[in-house]
Amino acid sequence: MTAQLLDGKALAQRMQAELAQQVKVLQANHKRPPGLAVLMVGDNPASAAYVRNKERACTIVGIASYGKHFPADATQAELEQTIHELNQDDRVDGILVQLPLPAHLDSVALLNQIDPDKDADGLHPYNLGRLVRGEPGLRSCTPAGVMRLLEEYQIDLSGKQAVVIGRSLLVGKPIALLLLEADATVTIAHSRSHDLGAIARSADILIAAVGRQGLITPEMVKPGAVVVDVGINRITDATGKSRLVGDVDFEAVQPVAGYLTPVPGGVGAMTVTMLLHNTIWSYSQKFAGSVRLNSGT
């Protein structure tokens, strides 16, 4: 048996083409494009690459980009002031603070300053509360992307045993809530869980979201399980060439799993696409009688 790949890159490309058509319709009615502001602090190479990818994707679907790049020594007050200005800017429908931030900045406090209706990353407490209550709203991009990918491949979650390894606010907790909403039985495991291998082997749906290369080995995977690799780790080989790998030992797990996401080409592409989706959804909510998009869940 060889796992079927869950091709996030192909799905993301198709979704972006569909979003571009939706933007054309919306812009014709409302006389301006949706707008997204990404705030980046410092010169972290990985963050810079992510921001470039987001800006390119905005161009593809017709979203106006209002990115702001701050020096590494930018103050909390400067960033908060910028967020307040963007909250009041009618051209801007989505605001995202690129993480991680330099150590002297309080990322939680900054995220909480974003208008919940412009919270493109779905991380404001107001939007997380909507998720807990099962109400429509902006969803965290990576978890929403995972759910959309599972939906695309018609993977039935109802009644299945799902194990999420990782308990971050960015991925682990919201994906667990989304899986619960889809009627899965959910276990959250983490660094202090006893016998992680046994917990993982119980999963029909295994989500790895830790950020540790090769964490998931074939002995931890139930034969035929759906394995979703959210981890992104940059490694350098003996020749000095760098590449991205996930939390799953891909080559070793592929003969065991039923479905498997590659890294890159899996969840990462979906994360950017759901960011665009969230921005367009926020834009559509501003206009009475506008074309309504679903919440991505």
Annotated binding site: 166-168, 232
In angstroms, the CA 246 to CA 234 distance is: 9
Please count the residues of the chain. 297
Find where tokens 């009627």 sit: 183
The single-letter code of the amino acid at 155 is: I
121 included as an active-site residue: yes
Of 22, 54, 93, 254, the active-site residue reads: 54
Contact 229, 253 (CB under 8 A): no
Nearest Cα to Cα of residue 230 among 247, 255, 254: 247
Of 22, 98, 113, 254, the active-site residue reads: 98
Q: List, in order, residues 6 or more apart from 206 with CB less than 8 Å away.
A: 162, 163, 165, 200, 216, 220, 221, 222, 225, 226, 227, 228
Of 93, 115, 121, 247, the active-site residue reads: 121
What are the backbone dihedrals phi and psi of residue 76, each rounded to the nearest 5 degrees, phi first?
-60, -40
Q: Which residues are annotated as a binding site for NADP(+)?
A: 166-168, 232
- SS3 of residue 124 by DSSP: coil
Q: How far apart are the first and last CA of the chain?
A: 31
Contact 261, 267 (CB under 8 A): yes
222 included as an active-site residue: no
Active-site residue numbers?
54, 98, 121
